[in-house]
Amino acid sequence: MTPAMIDDTTLYAVLAPFAAAAVAPFLTRWFKHNAAWPLAVVPALIFLHFVGFIEPVSRGETFVASIAWVPSYNVDFSVYVDGLSTLFALLISGIGTFIILYAGGYLKGHPQQGRFFSFLFLFMGAMLGLVLGNNLISLFIFWELTSITSFLLIGFDHLRAASRRAAIQALVVTGGGGLVLLAGFLVIIQATGKYEMSALLGSPDVIKDSGLYLVIFILVLGGAFTKSAQFPFHFWLPNAMEAPTPVSAFLHSATMVKAGVYLLMRMHPLLGDTPEWNTVLPIFGGMTLLVGTILAVRQTDLKLMLAYTTVASLGLLVMLTGTSDERALEAAVLYLLAHSLFKGALFMVAGTIDHEAGTRDITKLGGLRSAMPITFLAACLAALSMAGLPPFIGFIAKEVLYYGTWGWLEFWGLPLTLTALVGNALMFVIAAAVAIKPFFGPKVETPKHAHEGPVLLFAGPVVLSVLGLGLALVAHTTGDLFVAPTLASLRGVFTEIDLHLWPTYISGNVALYLSIITIGLGIALFTQLDRLRATIAGILTTIGWGPDKGFDQFVAGIVSLSTLITRLLQTGKMQTYMVLTFLFTGLAVLLPGYLTNSFPAMPKLPEYRFYEWGIFLIAVLGLFAVLIAKTRLTAIVSLGIQGFAVALIFLIFGAPDLAFTQFMVETLSVVILALVMTRLNLHPSDHRSLPAALSTGAVAAAVGLGLCLTLMAITQQPFDSRLSDFFTEFSRSIAHGRNIVNVILVDFRGIDTLGEIAVVVLAGLCVLALIRVRTRPEKPDEAPDAEAAQSKPAEAN
């Protein structure tokens, strides 16, 4: 179905969070933490806007809106609204509304709360632009903007070294992956000639049929795997828990960590259902699921436990997306929805416990259910959904998941089902630990007197956890409005689904039996949680090395390599810098011609008059005088001979104004350089050895030859007179000047001329500083030290 054009309201909805980011600090200054209430109206209105798309999208309709951004490069600010983007937009804006409210209560009294609100809105806007992006280049821009804004949020408490490290780590991993993704997008554009995602989806086989499929597949996976923390790039996500809890809740439930999953789902019609796709994604997704759940069991910090289960959940989503099976994809959509709800609620519960009790270590918590009854209720409801128990949306997702993996019996069915079973059992353990450990058992003394938080803190967890129950109770409607249209985006064709709280399609009740096994295994492991945690910790201690430590080693290696290269290239000698600069200039102008064998032919020399040959001879003699000069001062004066010869050439060929300028420049250059030479402590003559002089001479000759050949090649091309005609036509009528050269310098290129003047002024100031340098006189009774040695002017080499 061809997407229908809509007005620009959706574009404004994407930009609305950026406007809110601009006003958030001012509202916070006026209303303090209560600014969260008016600020939350922005994402709430965005949510309501996309609610209007639910009904048409559920019928299989799609929409686009676009405005030109950089038309010369085919970059438009455009959106594509279908089932997948609508679901993500609803999650981002809906959960974002409660995150804004939660941040108001969580950071109450913080001096930088306004700045925090701004960062949250920037992050929200970047995610909306990403999931709604239609143009590949604008999608990439929003993709990288999520990395930048997450860097600001994770490093919000920038005075702590751990926060700074986590922020840098997230930026390096996700930003680097973004550059890989950009390469993938550019290859897609090159292979297909299409810039819009909607155009690509209209021809889903265009990439698969190209010879660049494997390259595109690898590059897209590089961006998606780093963003969604797939093994071995999973380490940055738990470290991001250094961010304040509102960031963690938003990051894990509906935003950046799911951006990679979104990309894989979006690209499934274009890249999916191939041997490469059906092999790589299930393997890495399954590994990430197991690694995430195992590492989650080891933790005692509530946020870290939840963070590692997010890693596991992302692995599960990638694994399901990699099967390309209809039921598995349906399970991926259901689990995406379920995870967003229960994980957002549980993170806010963990933050509320930390905020009101003073700790989030489950070994130091207990008996909080009477002190925090509303938080306890929200935690139980969300944990039940996370554990996959009825009658919650998490249970339905797990049932469909097992049906999808068990039914995919093409070699991968049994391994994937066992992987999902073990992962879900460990997920059950973490859900039970989060819901039971802090709230049940004898009351434990905590650093703060535990009590229920304000409405700003418990509104989000309660609503999200209740939604996990409500959507399951109306499972058929949930399937029709959210799952079916999203599944259509993944498969490329609209498919009717029949979703029920108690699935009716299970052949032999296999999925139900697997769920019972999962619950039984989870209960058994939960009863041995302490022993299991100690065992895993011992194994990891024995292994020692991990990707997180590898990242530090990688950064240290980059720093060491940079230091080595700096020491090799930045020697402190001007001669080295000049030789390297001219060497690479010569290579840049000569190497392309050599590789392509496209050097210009020698032009036929015109008939010169005798005095014209005389001027050329003067220039050659000046060059010879420079080469044989015994002193630097003689070389500078001899160099001026060539400049005056060029001025004479300008004069006799009809450019007296340029000749006058050249005369002035050469005269001033010689005078100023001569003055500087007399004031600096320099060698009076060239003291280089013969081999050094020959090597630098070869570099100089290469540069001269390269520039000469370049000019010859340019002059042999057909002359394009459009610019000359423009200046000739408009110099008088627009700039009111008869001298075309002067008009170009002071009018058409006035800013450029101003910049050149600024450069000359700065150069003059630098010369003045050099002239004013003096060698500090040494006192008779004062021994020379390092500082005195450094204050002496260095000798030129």
DSSP letter string over 348-399?
HHHHHHHHHHS--BGGG----TTTSHHHHHHHHHHHHHHHT-TTSHHHHHHH
Give the pLDDT of residue 783: 47
- d(C-alpha 179, C-alpha 147), whole Å: 11
Give the pLDDT of residue 364: 92
- Position of tokens 């000049």? 578
Give the pLDDT of residue 634: 78
As a whole number of Å, the end-to-end CA separation of the chain is 72
Q: Angle CA(341)–CA(344)–CA(348) in degrees, nearest 5?
A: 140
Q: Is 594 in a helix, a strand, or coil?
A: helix
Give the pLDDT of residue 503: 66
Beta strands of 448-504 (E only): which ranges? none
Give the pLDDT of residue 793: 39
Segment (H or E) for 81? strand 75-81
Segment (H or E) for 276? helix 275-298
List the chain residues with pLDDT less than 70.
Answer: 1, 408-411, 503-508, 603, 605, 678-686, 771, 773-797
pLDDT for 356-410, tens place per residue? 999 999 999 999 999 999 999 999 999 999 999 999 999 999 989 998 888 755 6
Give the pLDDT of residue 14: 95
599-614 exposure pattern, b = at least 16 Cβ within 10 A, e = fewer: ebeeeeeeeeeeeeee
Phi, psi of 4 (to 5 degrees): -90, 140
Question: What residues pair up with 79 in beta bridges, in sequence order?
Answer: 65, 133
> Which tokens belong to 548?
């997180």
Beta strands of 469-593 (E only): which ranges? none
* Whole-prediction pTM: 0.81
The count of other CB atoms within 10 Å of the CB of residue 239 is 21
Closest CA to 227 of 253, 186, 256: 256
Give the pLDDT of residue 505: 53
SS percent in the chain: helix, strand, coil, step 5: 75, 5, 25
CA torsion sign for 581, 582, 587, 593 is: positive
